[in-house]
Amino acid sequence: MFEDDLFTGDECWLNEFCDRYAREVALPFFCYARADTLTDKIVAQLKDAGCVSVSLGVETVNQQAGERVLGRSLGPERIRHAAVMIKQRGLRLETTNIIGIPGVTLADDLATMAFNRSIRADYASVKMLMPYPGTPIRHWMEQKGFSLRLPLTGDRLAFMSRDTRYQRSVD
């Protein structure tokens, strides 16, 4: 797994990586990608290099909160376009989603989950917003007067995803 939020951000580097990885390593891999960095050519290169799954950050379908709080300008349609390219190449589609974003309602969170289903995500992870000290989101929340008294230790506190297929198959 390549945990690099800009794994597909530098096309020149990615071209060399995919070529060399396919020749020199040739093992299946998983990567994170930003929807706005994916083209059909890049998705094809990933597949040819051995990529079996791509994870896209959906976060929330509430565009206003995505822009205002997360500083993210990707809309659902750009994510949908990237998801279609991934699925057309036969790759698994994984998504990351965030709950607890200021200004996002339960209805928004449910709409985000419905969006995951509509793009045929194979696996959707859901994480709590973690405004770590020193991050722009933490600074924004402090300026807006949010109470942030609980200690934040370890990024695994935010991990709330679970693949329940095995549970549904047990009597």
Tell me whether residue 108 is in a domain.
Answer: yes
pTM of the model: 0.81
Q: Which domain holds residue 71?
A: 11-164
Give a yes or no: residue 1 inside a domain.
no
Q: What is the torsional sign of CA 13, 53, 35, 157?
A: negative
Integer Cα distance of 123 and 166 in angstroms: 13
Is 138 inside any structural domain? Answer: yes
Q: What is d(CA 74, CA 108) in angstroms, rounded to the nearest whole number?
A: 16
**Predicted pLDDT at 4:** 77
CA dihedral in degrees (168, 161, 96, 166; nearest 10)?
A: -20
**Which residues have CB under 8 Å from 42's CB, separation 6+?**
8, 11, 14
CATH number at residue 139: 3.20.20.70
Mean pLDDT computed over 132-143: 88
Q: Indicate whether 67 belongs to any domain.
A: yes
- How many other CB atoms are there within 10 angstroms of residue 16's CB atom? 11
The dihedral sign for the CA sequence 95, 98, 104, 106: positive
Whether 6 is in a domain gets the answer: no
pLDDT-wise least confident of 15-19, 94-98, 148-152: 148-152
pLDDT over 80 at 21, yes or no = yes
**Could you tell me if residue 106 is inside a domain?**
yes
pLDDT value at position 169? 38
Residue 116 lies in a domain: yes
What's the full length of the chain, in residues?
A: 171
- Angle value at C-alpha 149, between 148 and 150, nearest 5 degrees: 100
Look at residue 2 and tell me if it is in a domain. no
Q: At what angle do helices 76-88 and 40-49 cross, to 10 degrees?
A: 40
- Residues 104-133 have a mean pLDDT of 95
What is the tally of structural domains in the chain? 1
